[in-house]
Structure 1
Amino acid sequence: MTTFTNDPTMPTPSFPGSHMVIDENYVFISGITVSDLSNGQAAQGDVKEETHLIMRAVSRMLEMEGGSLADIMRVDIHLKDLKFIHDMDGVYAEFFEPGRYPARTCTESPNICGGGHVEITVMAKRQLAKEQ
């Protein structure tokens, strides 16, 4: 059964969508920006801090479903300006075991919703699916 849910620690999405869609095998997390986080406004403009806040939110959301960052299979990252990719990468890499990084796409998106500099979307394998 597919479940459509929102993270209760975050504001309700301002778009017609859900923070997470969960089925028997995967957890899909919608693109998260600092404007999606209640404390995100203070970090806007600092790519490193935005990445930290977003990755911590993704981690918390996966933990709510019994998973962790190690379960992530694919990540899509949108940066307002690709000149900040090395700053973002330095923070992003801290959240994964070296050599065990998810498949990833990173693109430049100059008009990220909410005015942030980073948006991260995730697809993760569900722990329950692994145990069956």
Structure 2
Amino acid sequence: MPTFMNDPTMPTPSFPGSHMVVDDHYVFISGLTVGDLSNGHAVKGDVKEETRLVMRALSRMLEMEGGSLADIVRVDIHLTDLHAIQDMDTVYAEYFEPGRYPARTCTESPNLYGGSSIEITVMAKRPHQSAQ
């Protein structure tokens, strides 16, 4: 049975959804932008810094469930300007072991929440839970 949860460090979503849905096998994290983060407003417009803050938040959220960025199997990225993909990629790649990158889609979306430049959604394999 899935568990629907919100990250207690972030505001409750303003949309009918959850920050995370966790089942026995996967952690699904809704699209995250710096507009969702209380410390994100200062970096809006700098795709590298926005990417860095979002990846750190995703890492923290996965750690809440006993996982890490290494458990991510799929990523969806939306950029307001697809020409910024190389700048985004230089930061994004730092968070994964070379050659072990998740499957990924990257699209251009002209309007993202809170005026952000990037939105990232992830699906991560949940670490095996020991029998209790």
Under a length normalisation based on structure 1, what TM-score does the superposition of the two structures give?
Answer: 0.96
Which runs of 5 or more structure 1 residues have no equivalent in the other structure? none
Residue in 1 aligned with 2:14? 14
Deviations 1:31-83 (A, max 9, x none): 00000001111110000000000000000000000000000000000000001
Q: Distance in 1 between matches of 2:111 and 2:10?
A: 22
Letter in 1 for 2:8: P
Which runs of 5 or more structure 2 residues have no equivalent in the other structure? none
Give 1:114 shift: 1.3
Give 1:7 shift: 0.5
Q: Distance in 2 between matches of 1:14 and 1:96?
A: 31
Deviations 1:1-47 (A, max 9, x none): 21000011111111111000000000000000000001111110000
Q: Does 1:37 align with 2:2?
A: no
Q: Does 1:65 align with 2:69?
A: no
RMSD of Structure 2 on Structure 1 (CA): 1.1
Helix, strand or coil at the partner of 1:63: helix
- Percent of matched pairs sharing the same residue: 77
Helix, strand or coil at the partner of 1:8: coil
Give 1:128 shift: 2.3
Moved more, 109-118 or 89-98: 109-118
Letter in 2 for 1:108: E
Residue in 2 aligned with 1:97? 97
Q: Distance in 1 between matches of 2:46 and 2:112?
A: 14
4+ residue runs of structure 1 moved beyond 3 angstroms? Answer: none
Q: Distance in 1 between matches of 2:69 and 2:116?
A: 23
